Structure 1
Amino acid sequence: MRMALNIATRLLVPVVHHGPSLTCVRGFSFSQSPTLVLPLHSHRPAKTLLQIATTPSFRSCGCAPMSTFQVRDKIDLSDVERRIFDRLLATLRHFDLQTQLRVAGGWVRDKLLGKECYDIDIALDNMMGTEFVDKVREYLLSIGEDAQGVCVIESNPDQSKHLETARMRLFDIWIDFVNLRSEEYAENSRIPSKQRFGTAEEDAYRRDLTINSLFYHINTDSVEDFTKRGISDLKSGKIVTPLPPKATFLDDPLRVLRAIRFGARFEFTLDEDLKVAAACDDVKDALAAKISRERIGTEIDLMISGNQPVKAMTYICDLTLFWIVFSLPPEFEPYISDGCERLCISYLDTAWNLIHLLGESTFTAEQKRLTLCAALFLPLRNTTYREKKAKKIPVVNHIIRESLKRKAKDAEMVLNLHQASHKFLSLIPCLASSEDVQVVDHDWLGDLVDVPVSSRVRVLTGFLLRELKDYWHVALLISTILHPIDIKDEPSQLGKRRDLFNTVENSIIKLGLEKVWDIKQLINGKDVMNALQLKGGPLVKESLDKAMAWQLAYPSGTAEECIEWLREANSKRIKLQ
């Protein structure tokens, strides 16, 4: 399929079972969690994967026994929800409206599963949302209450809003109001070409999944299941479309990614017919052609930030959607080998499990998200392409900026983490050892001839952490994943990586570098120019870097001592010219 990855070392890449999810390789999944031993320079990765996949510790995907999920018989309203619905029903009585009010979709699903949800979407059977919100506002004013935040949201298909939505805030909760509808789709667009008022049943069948097609009828305080299987699919933990899945996905291919996201989020099983439809060429072509890259990127972000990112990415891989979602530029080098997507998920799996082993408090939500993104794309970190004969650009930059349309700072941060992991790898032997180990590879910082040998580890580490700031823990985790560990069984290897992370972290703390970027430099550019009689230019920056290296080597030194050292170093440089 694609060419070999340009990574020089043989690594042990653990594929880890986390919770009830299964990590799969070529149609097989782990019943236990072996370690995947892959020589990343191998010209035969597909054979290696196949050999591993056919060992007795694997079993076919989708054969896990069906689980039963606890689903409530009725919806228990909170005090705030009851007050909201009371105001809406009072509006009907006040104006003698013969309107049926239904809460649709995710709120009903989550309440039946015993989860809190503050995303309330109300569907009306015989009037537009804007018209009803005006009535609610008028009623509230008549009883001396304020109508807060009333607004109209224009249709925005990229945000999955295909028609105008009225919104208001009641008791500090935002409520959306739309009409029940029936939709028809054009062949080349996921935007409905025709919309009309529909029945509740029509509205239920036009939705993406049966578990999202349930209604809570506010007027009658009852749950409605017009597809006749929404509740049963909730109980059995199945992801199913209300209508035949291929037609559903061709109408709106984004539903494929939504099915994957909800399947991973709730740890539900994807219906077999749904999987066949999602993986067919017609649906894959429609996903690539009809869905904006921004919308695909939003869904991937939700998966990565969710509670089961590995399971979500494994579903994408199993359904052969990986290179549709993470599309590559037309030409790149070196070629990417068949099975690379499985290696991407292996790295993601290791990162996910290390985060949990190290403790949730080690990383913020944003750091965790970027850690997982960086881990997912690790096998592609040395693959590049050219744009209009310009310099080489990392393929990872293309995936994040173009395939997913994420922010430029996300791409920059992931690329920085990949580069920093290489630097950290050269420091790990020194920081992890109780003996005096010298740094072998430090070409990334330049000439350290003026730095005492005994201080070079502190200087190099200090510069790296000043570059990474609060993200040094993330870079350390990535380099810990890449660091070779000669242990075959997964639990021991994962524990070894955790211990390595903790050892390096403790060494950095002992060196007093954990917040080194907050340390103010002893001298500034003006001081350098005065001391060395310079008028500016690159020598000032170079001298400031040398002064920082001296400061890291001599943490108790003074500004005067630093200037004097800088003068002496500059004199030596001039004499050698």
Structure 2
Amino acid sequence: MINRVFKSSRFFHNSMKRGIPNVISLSETESKIRNLLVDYCNHYNASHQEKPLTLRITGGWVRDKLLGYDSHDIDIAVNHLSGEEFVYSFQEYLKRKDPQFSVNHVHTIKMNPEKSKHLETCTTKLYGIDLDFINLRSEEYAHDSRVPTIEFGTPLQDALRRDATLNALFYNLNEEKIEDFTERGMDDLQHGILRTPLPPIKTFLDDPLRILRLIRFASKFNFAIESETLDAMREKHNQQALSTKISKERIEIELRKILISQNPSYGLQLINYCDLSKCIFFVEGLKKEFDAYQLELALSKIPHQVSVASAIYLTFEQLILDSKIESVFQKFLADSDARFNFWLSVILHPYSIVTGKSKDIYNQYLRLGLMAKKSDITKVSAIDLTSNEVVQRYFTNPGNVKRSDLGIYLRRFPGYMDLNLIVQCYLECVDAIRVETPVEIPVPNHSIKCTTDQVKTIQSIINKYESLYSTIKSLDLSEVHLMRPLLDGKQLGKYLDRKPGPWMKPAMDKVLVWQLDNPDGTEDECIEYIKSTL
């Protein structure tokens, strides 16, 4: 069994207090931005003393600066103008004051309540830094509506509508000070706790995507989620809202950030604990193309796949970084897209049992369920749908696998051969350690330890792939996807005095096989071979 090291208490409070400063030091560029904005505020306030302007940087920038991270995601809240009103007024001021600072690129993102985009945002750039301007707001919900009535609000009202107390910290640009209107943000940041400013039911009613956002912050910073908040994340109506109310693009963005975070295993454990697999890794549209029984069976296996894959990952990573293919894995770790595709390929692997008449399940899910990029769809589909028979035959008896067998297989993954082999290696590990894992409250900074036998199993699988990589290198197949056939279709037709037709593709396939098995062969020898086979 996998040994899970968890605290037994209902809510784990991270006792290691972080040294969070009570002031923020601005960079040179940030100081220039601050001075320019405050100069405008002073100019504006001289003639609007009854309603003076105050600007506050909100959200992630404040959190990241206090944690010691650089941040270029600057959202600025204006106390009594809309973001658009402020930016255009500021733009006119700059034109008069100093034309070199003119704000020429202004973009307004309108509200879209149906997609939980409740606030208009105006974006511009200063000193090469993107700035988003919004107004402080309050939100009121009718009992029968998820679309809020939005009005200008106080800083406290605005802070209370944030997704987490540590994201509700403000930095007052006018006064150069941190403001903690929830009176919990600084303490939660110091102790690594994620909790909602308002009762979590209200917070998730505002925007169900905040469930995934909290998981993302937990996996990024290794923070614990407070128990009442975690309980609300598990409620069925919130899961339903996440499936139906939030755009697939927004879900994909949060999922990607979770899977490429510092601790994706922890994020996946939280996804499992909150029973979110169906609302993330399934979409109703699949029922139109695929067998309902196969879909249900595959979907039922995904939580266990996630459980085992997240449980053994750190052990796998440590062992492979101590192996002879460490350099291959280091390149993989440095590529965020590769890590995202790795986890998608592993998590969605149970879908490989689902068959369709003309479309593959991975293409359809990634397109409809996540609105994923074409490159992601191509890679995950190829990795999970391509038979691994050649590799397994190699492991059984390397002498029975020809250079062409291995070469043709590897050409199925042009430019991402390493990603495929790492996924196949890990899937073997997951399949070999299919044990029942209890549902526990995931806790940050606590490792999930494999038994001695499980470590030996993972090591033996990695050893097999070390041998495979050694063979790939010795056969000069590392760049086999770049190999060009000795003959193209036109040349082949000319030499054989045959018109293009159905015969050509299998003939070209034979050219490639012969070329791989005869790396020093000539064009004439290849033609003679093709003639003999036809």
TM-score, L = length of structure 2 = 0.85
Q: Which whole-Å CA distance do the structure 2 matches of 1:262 and 1:399 have between them?
A: 26
1:190 and 1:424 map into 2 onto residues whose CA distance is 53
Report which stretch shifted further, 534-543 or 304-313: 304-313
Number of the residue aligned with 2:226? 271
Q: Deviations over 1:225-250 (max 9, x none)?
A: 11110111111111100111112212
C-alpha distance in 2 between matches for 1:207 and 1:367: 32
Moved more, 227-236 or 63-72: 63-72
Q: Which residue of 2 aligns with 1:380?
A: 351
Question: For 1:506-534, what per-residue CA distance to the aligned partner results, in whole angstroms no more than 9, with x for missing partners?
Answer: 21011011111222211111222123332
- Given that 1:85 and 1:218 are in contact with CA atoms closer than 8 Å, whether structure 2 keeps it comes out as yes
Matched, 1:256 2:190: no
Give the superposition deviation at 1:218: 0.8
Q: Displacement of 1:492 after TM fit?
A: 3.4
Q: Is contact 1:345–1:376 with CA below 8 Å preserved after alignment?
A: no
Q: Which position in structure 1 is the counterpart of 2:441?
A: none
* CA deviation vs aligned residue, 1:101-141 (integer Å, no higher than 9, x gap): 11111111111111111111111112122222223323333
The residue correspondences of 1:165-314 to structure 2 (distance < 5 A) are: 165-185=121-141, 191-192=147-148, 194-314=149-269
Stretches of structure 2 that go unaligned for 5 or more consecutive residues are: 434-450
Aligned to 1:368: 339
Aligned residue pair count: 492
Instruction: Give 2:494's aligned residue.
Output: 530
**Post-superposition shift, 1:488?**
5.5
The match for 1:122 is: 76
- Name which of 465, 476, 479 aligns with 2:424: 479
Give the equivalent residue in structure 1 for 2:477: 513
C-alpha separation in 1, matches of 2:477 and 2:103: 50
Q: CA separation of 1:185/1:498 partners in 2, compared to 1, >3 Å: closer, same or farther?
A: farther
User: Which 10-residue stretch deviates more, 315-324 or 477-486?
Assistant: 477-486
CA distance in 2: counterparts of 1:105 and 1:160, whole angstroms: 18
Cα 1:66–1:343, aligned 2, differ >3 Å: closer, same or farther? farther
* Aligned with residue 404 of structure 2, among 445, 456, 459: 459
- The alpha-carbon deviation at position 399 of structure 1 amounts to 3.2
* 2:511 counterpart of 1:547: yes
Q: Deviations over 1:390-439 (max 9, x none)?
A: x1755444432223232454333212101336245334416xx7xx5314
Residue 306 (structure 2) pairs with residue 344 (structure 1)? yes
Does structure 1 retain, via aligned residues, the 8 Å contact 2:41–2:54? no
Moved more, 532-541 or 100-109: 532-541
RMSD: 2.8
SS at match of 1:469: coil
Q: Which amino acid aligns with 2:67?
A: L
Note if contact 1:344-1:379 (Cα within 8 Å) is conserved in structure 2. no
Deviation, structure 1 residue 501: 2.6
Partner of 2:446: none
**1:101 and 2:46 equivalent?**
no
Q: Which stretch of structure 1 is more off in the superposition, 73-82 or 496-505?
A: 496-505
Distance 1:339 1:463 in 2: 31
Query: What is the SS of the residue equivalent to 2:500?
Result: coil
**Other-structure match for 1:152:** 107
Compute the displacement of 1:159 (Å): 7.6
Match of 1:31 in 2: 5
Aligned to 2:413, what secondary structure does the other structure show? Answer: helix
Q: 2 CA distance for matches of 1:187 and 1:353?
A: 49
Amino acid at match of 1:143: D
Q: Partner of 2:367 in structure 1?
A: 401
Gaps of at least 5 residues in structure 1 are 1-13, 16-28, 33-57, 440-455, 571-577
TM superposition shift of 1:86: 0.4
Mean CA deviation greater in 135-144 or 246-255 = 135-144
Asked whether the 8 Å contact 2:282–2:365 carries over to 1, the reply is yes
Bigger shift: residues 320-329 or 100-109? 320-329
Distance in structure 1 (CA, Å) of the matches to 2:264 and 2:133: 32
Cα distance between partner residues in 2 of 1:181 and 1:61:
35
Deviations 1:136-159 (A, max 9, x none): 323333234232443132225488
| Contact map agreement 1:149 1:167 (CA 8 A) in 2 | no
CA distance in 2 between partners of 1:240 and 1:352 (Å): 27
| Structure-2 separation of matches of 1:133 and 1:65 | 42
State the percentage of identical aligned residues: 31
List aligned pairs for 1:440-455, cutoff 5 A: none
Separation in 1, partners of 2:300, 2:121: 45
CA contact (8 A) 1:351 1:375 kept: no
Q: Aligned equivalents of 1:61 and 1:476: distance in 2? A: 40
> Does residue 1:561 correspond to 2:530, yes or no?
no
Asked if the contact 1:421/1:479 (under 8 Å) is kept, the reply is no
State the alpha-carbon separation in 1 of the partners of residues 499 and 313 from structure 2: 48
Change (3 A) 1:528 1:395: closer
Per-residue deviation, 1:100: 0.8
C-alpha distance 172-481 of structure 1, shift in aligned 2 (>3 A):
same
Contact 1:429 1:437 in 2 (8 A): no
CA gap of 1:281–1:569, structure 2 versus 1, over 3 A, is closer
Aligned CA distance change for structure 1 residues 547 and 352 (closer, same or farther; 3 Å): farther
- Name the SS of the counterpart of 1:145 in structure 2: helix
Distance 1:188 1:290 in 2: 15
Structure with greater helix share of residues: 2
Determine if contact 1:152/1:164 at 8 Å carries over to the other structure: no
Q: Secondary structure at the match of 1:538?
A: coil
Do the aligned partners of 1:159 and 1:295 also contact (CA within 8 Å) in 2?
A: no
Structure 1: 4+ residue segments shifted above 6 A: 58-61, 484-487
Classify 1:187/1:350 alpha carbon distance in 2 versus 1 (closer, same or farther; 3 Å): farther
Answer whether contact 1:187 1:251 (CA < 8 A) is retained: no
CA distance in 2, matches of 1:350, 1:552: 37
Shift of 1:60: 7.7
Contact 1:91 1:139 in 2 (8 A): yes
CA–CA distance in structure 1, aligned partners of residues 240 and 347 of structure 2: 24
Q: CA deviation at 1:474?
A: 1.4
Letter aligned with residue 147 of structure 1: S
Asked if the contact 2:115/2:246 (under 8 Å) is kept, the reply is: no
Alpha-carbon separation, structure 1, partners of 2:147 and 2:499: 62
CA contact (8 A) 1:211 1:230 kept: yes
Once residues 319 and 293 of structure 1 are traced to their aligned partners in structure 2, the CA distance between those partners, rounded to angstroms, is 19
SS of residue in 2 equivalent to 1:320: coil
CA distance in 2, matches of 1:261, 1:183: 24
From 416, 419, 426, the counterpart of 2:382: 416
Q: What is the CA–CA distance in structure 2 between the aligned matches of 1:105 and 1:190, rounded to whole Å?
A: 23
Instruction: Label 1:88 to 1:246 Cα distance change in 2 as closer, same or farther (>3 A).
Output: same
Q: CA deviation at 1:351?
A: 5.8
